């Protein structure tokens, strides 16, 4: 780990992490693994299923910011790959719910990545973990609220 002794170096390290994630996404796509949006859909599907409130295609479209038609195409692809099943909603037969098929290899290698991230974060004290969590949650909110314009390079 490099010396992070000022806010500018922290911002630089976060930007480097974002670039590393983009490179990882490209490697996953080249290996025909689910990309970032597909992994977000899969994670949300698991979370909703675990909570006993299965996701609907509309929920997933809203969650990842896709149109209903784009999420339908993605869900058909994920079904062909054996990662999800789309079933009739138990309370409303006109609606559909999306259910995960298996927890094994559902995120295209993210389990190993998650394990490695947990190894790194276990070194944090409780106070450090609380501080880092707060900073990352605030940054996520900034990203979620950022509007993309035609001149935006990101």
The 3 state secondary structure assigned to 86-138 is EEECCCCCCCEEEEECCCCCCCCCHHHHHHHHHHHHCCCCHHHHHHHHHHHHH
CATH 1.10.10.10 fits 7-108, yes or no: yes
Taking Cα atoms as reference points, which of 67, 2, 111, 31 lies closest to residue 75?
67
- pLDDT tens digits along 13-72: 999 998 998 888 788 777 767 778 888 999 999 999 989 899 999 999 999 999 999 999
Number of residues that this document lists for the chain: 154
Each domain of the chain, given as residue ranges in start order, spans 7-108, 109-143
pTM of the complete model = 0.58
46: Cα separation from own chain's centroid: 11
């Amino acid at each position: 780990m490099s010396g992070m002794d000022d806010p500018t170096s922290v911002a630089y390290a976060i930007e480097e992490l974002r670039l590393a994630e983009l490179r990882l996404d490209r490697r996953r796509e080249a290996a025909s693994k689910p990309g970032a949006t597909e992994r977000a859909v899969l994670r949300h599907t698991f979370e909703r299923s675990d909570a006993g409130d299965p996701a609907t295609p509309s929920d997933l479209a809203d969650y990842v910011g896709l149109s209903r038609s784009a999420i339908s195409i993605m869900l058909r692809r994920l079904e062909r790959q054996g990662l999800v099943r789309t079933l009739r909603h138990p309370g409303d037969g006109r609606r559909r719910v999306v259910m995960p098929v298996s927890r094994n290899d559902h995120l295209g290698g993210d389990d190993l990545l998650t394990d490695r991230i947990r190894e790194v974060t276990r070194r944090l004290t409780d106070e450090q973990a609380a501080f880092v969590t707060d900073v990352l949650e605030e940054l996520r909110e900034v990203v979620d609220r950022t509007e993309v314009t035609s001149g935006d390079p990101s």
